[in-house]
Amino acid sequence: MQSGLVTTIIPVFNRAAMLREAVASVLAQTYRPIEIVVVDDGSTDDTPRVADALAAEHPEIRVIHQTNRGVGLARETGRLAASGEFIQYLDSDDILYPRKFELQVAALQARPECGVAYGWTRGRTRNGSLGEAPERGTGVVFETMFPAMLQSRIWQTVTPLYRRALVDGAGSWMPFINEEDWEYDARIAAFGVRLTHVAEWIGEYRHHEGERLSRRGYVPRIMRDRAQAHALIYQHALRAGIDAEAPEMRHYARELFLLARQCGAAGLAEESRMLFELAREASGSRRHSLQFLAYRAAAALLGWNLTGRLACISDRLRW
């Protein structure tokens, strides 16, 4: 590990043009020293050539080519290759603002008890306009990641800068293709890590028309990964000591129950049953509610898949 060095890990799959922009935003940082590890995750377009050309032009860049394994394992490849004291994960469709590292490294150096620095993050809409308010919870000052991280991921991947020691302690990224980032942050949150907040714009999350896994609906492979990620997030919350009566845990219990219904609709009976039982457990004193009793009775009569399909239809009609 090189003291003071910031390593940016950029996984990429078939995004040559956006990769150029993401890399340019890192090279434009006012802070030095930096290194960039681009992990080409089995791209089939011009991305490998573009990545290699960027590395030939800039000594700060290294490129690793691997067969397609998904974004989580691509980030893991980059983590294992990183040399920095600080770690920045950057999706290939997002960009950093020039002072991000300068501001966040200074914030971490000023508060050695903190493991993560974050700050205001802009969203860019599909028509190119910039949001006026910080995305998600990046405008809110949190002392720790939990319990807020249990309600939803409080930032996008572009936002946080991690200390390397914290990342190493968290261990390997999971081989999920969806919600791997939320699980990873919840795992870190269970350590009780303290946060430091920078009240300035530090990066940009871009909404666009390109491929995103979140737009594919109830695809069994994606839903199976989401189920496993949610089960792990719940275990991380228990490790952190979040009580079943806490409002954040109540919210997450509803999230588990919703995903249980969706997994049933996707034909994943085992995952549906597992998430239903976790939702009941997470509900504490409400685990014996009429809603849970009625759903379990319906699943025993109709099966978890048909019950999930009917419940999802009912959910859509209700909204």
Residue 213: inside a domain: no
**Based on the domain organization, do 78 and 189 belong to the same domain?**
yes
| Total domain count, the chain | 2
pLDDT on residue 130: 86
Summarised one tens digit per residue, pLDDT across range 260-314 is 999 999 999 999 999 999 999 999 988 889 999 999 999 999 999 999 999 999 8
**Where residue 214 falls among pLDDT bands split at 50, 70, 90?**
very low
Task: Residue 134: name the closest of 168, 158, 109 by CA.
Answer: 158
Q: Are residues 44 and 191 in the same domain?
A: yes
Q: What is the Cα–Cα distance from 208 to 178, expressed in whole angstroms?
A: 18
Q: Are residues 161 and 16 in the same domain?
A: yes
Does residue 152 sit in the same domain as residue 119? yes
On whether both 86 and 202 belong to a single domain, the answer is: yes
3-state SS string for the chain: CEEEEEEEEEEECCCHHHHHHHHHHHHCCCCCCEEEEEEEECCCCCHHHHHHHHHHHCCCEEEEEECCCCHHHHHHHHHHHCCEEEEEECCCCCEECCCHHHHHHHHHHHCCCEEEEEEEEEEECCCCCECCCCCCCCCCCCCECCCHHHHCCCCCCCCCEEEHHHHHHHCCCCCCCCCHHHHHHHHHHCCCCEEEEEEEEEEEEECCCCCCHHHCCCCHHHHHHHHHHHHHHHHHHHHCCCCCCCHHHHHHHHHHHHHHHHHHHCCCHHHHHHHHHHHHHHCHHHCCCHHHHHHHHHHHHHCHHHHHHHHHHHHHHHC
Are 162 and 224 in the same domain? no
The pLDDT assigned to 160 comes to: 98
In which band, very low, low, confident or very high, does the pLDDT at 62 lie, cut at 50, 70 and 90? Answer: very high
Q: Is pLDDT above 50 for 166? A: yes
**pTM of the prediction?**
0.92
Q: Is the pLDDT of residue 213 over 70?
A: no
Q: In this predicted structure, what is the pLDDT of residue 124?
A: 87
Angstrom distance (rounded) from CA 72 to CA 176: 6
Higher pLDDT, 190 or 129: 190
Interhelix angle for 220-239 vs 269-282, to 10°? 30
> What's the CA gap between 8 and 164, in Å, rounded?
12
Give the residue among 105, 316, 306 at the shortest CA–CA distance from 202. 105
Based on the domain organization, do 194 and 99 belong to the same domain?
A: yes
Residues 161 and 306 both lie in one domain? no
Structural domain boundaries enclosing 133: 2-206
Task: Give CA–CA dist 59/55, Å, rounded.
Answer: 6
Residue 193 sits in the same domain as residue 94: yes
* pLDDT band at residue 215 under the 50/70/90 scheme: very low
Query: Does residue 264 lie within any of the structural domains?
Result: yes
